[in-house]
Structure 1
């Protein structure tokens, strides 16, 4: 059963070592992520499941202890998912970047409340499949908390990675409203094609959250919403 959820953005720039001189620009977002993780800790879960967008090589489950790094972003920094010992399955592949950022957040806040596992979700995964995956998570007998990673549109300004798309601001506002109010129906109804066109990386993970929260009576709080680099970042907590 789902007892709490935190929604955080997943740009590697959230990690100060990666952002370097630009690090202070995301201090407010980092603080909001810390607050959201505090809500997860307060829920006293039996297990924390981290869900984030992933490419082909990072899809599927990642057991506790799986390692990730930011070397691909020019920084010699390693992270590990959770605090448990890495078994053989955890050494087979690295975490996708979204789960590496989540691992950094967990290490930064000293997460030790419950075992952690990761799930990389393919960004093109159909809404129905995302929701079904979420239902499986929500149907677990143990108390599960979710840390859901993903960015909103990358088309908010002329200098954004996807250039300026006039549809992006409205779509991102709808996302922020849904995540901030724990609106499961609105998340299920997100337009996957439009999300793809606007380079929204969080659509699939958010729809996993929607499936997991179907039978959970959770209220949402929007902790942060901005687009400092032309990419929409949202932080929310459900409890």
Structure 2
């Protein structure tokens, strides 16, 4: 049974140890992400969706580390995680593990990595399959979507400034705030690729999970402090 879908961004800067003296600059974003994750802390399992170069899956027994991002911060994907920390886990899995460790340590998180260039139909079908599995489960389950907006919103953004990014980011923000799956599905894959909106595929999986509009929407954070669109919120079925 799906209890809620939570969406958070994927920047390593969520982890204080990776920010050094600038950690305070991300307090609001970090607090919003942890609070949102706590909304599905009473679930037995999280189904996590993120994006990457290729498709993949990370089991809830995995252990990761942010060592590749500057600090050896260990994260577990579940209470039964074993083995040595893997520094090569996808960033989405690391973020999910960090949120789980701090907000929901009893949860088992299984991560699905969707290719950045996955087509709309592929994302919709994956969302529908995930929803069927969530609804068939006999214990409460949460969906955690880890995705960013455009990374070209300012001159200091990772992709520098692109004048087209503001309009697309505005559409994304409006879709998330309105609980509009159709508007997420309408995001153009080619334009999003040009604007480094790498979370597009994950947003469209979220749309596939819901199909119809959610019964309730809460946006806890929406901004672009480093020239990248970051959004934290909750959709309820």
2:74 matches 1:78: yes
Cα 1:182–1:2 change in 2 (3 A) is farther
TM-score with structure 2 length normalisation?
0.90
Distance 2:75 2:43 in 1: 22
> Which residue does the alignment assign to 2:94?
100
2:180 matches 1:186: no
Q: How far is 1:115 from its partner?
A: 2.7
Cα 1:91–1:108 change in 2 (3 A) is closer
> Which residue does the alignment assign to 2:206?
209
Distance 2:30 2:95 in 1: 11
Q: How far is 1:215 from its partner?
A: 5.5
Cα 1:101–1:218 change in 2 (3 A) is same
- Counterpart contact for 2:2–2:141, Cα < 8 Å: yes
- Which stretches in structure 1 are left out of the alignment for 5+ residues? none
Runs of 4+ in 1 over 3 A off after TM superposition: 90-94, 215-218
Q: How far is 1:48 from its partner?
A: 1.0
Distance 1:85 1:12 in 2: 21
TM-score with structure 1 length normalisation?
0.89
Cα 1:18–1:92 change in 2 (3 A) is closer
Aligned 1:134-213 pairs, distance under 5 A: 134-140=127-133, 141-142=136-137, 143-213=140-210
Distance 2:215 2:105 in 1: 22
- Counterpart contact for 2:58–2:93, Cα < 8 Å: no
Distance 2:187 2:150 in 1: 13
- The number of aligned residues is 232
2:62 matches 1:66: yes
- Which stretches in structure 2 are left out of the alignment for 5+ residues? none
Q: How far is 1:10 from its partner?
A: 0.3
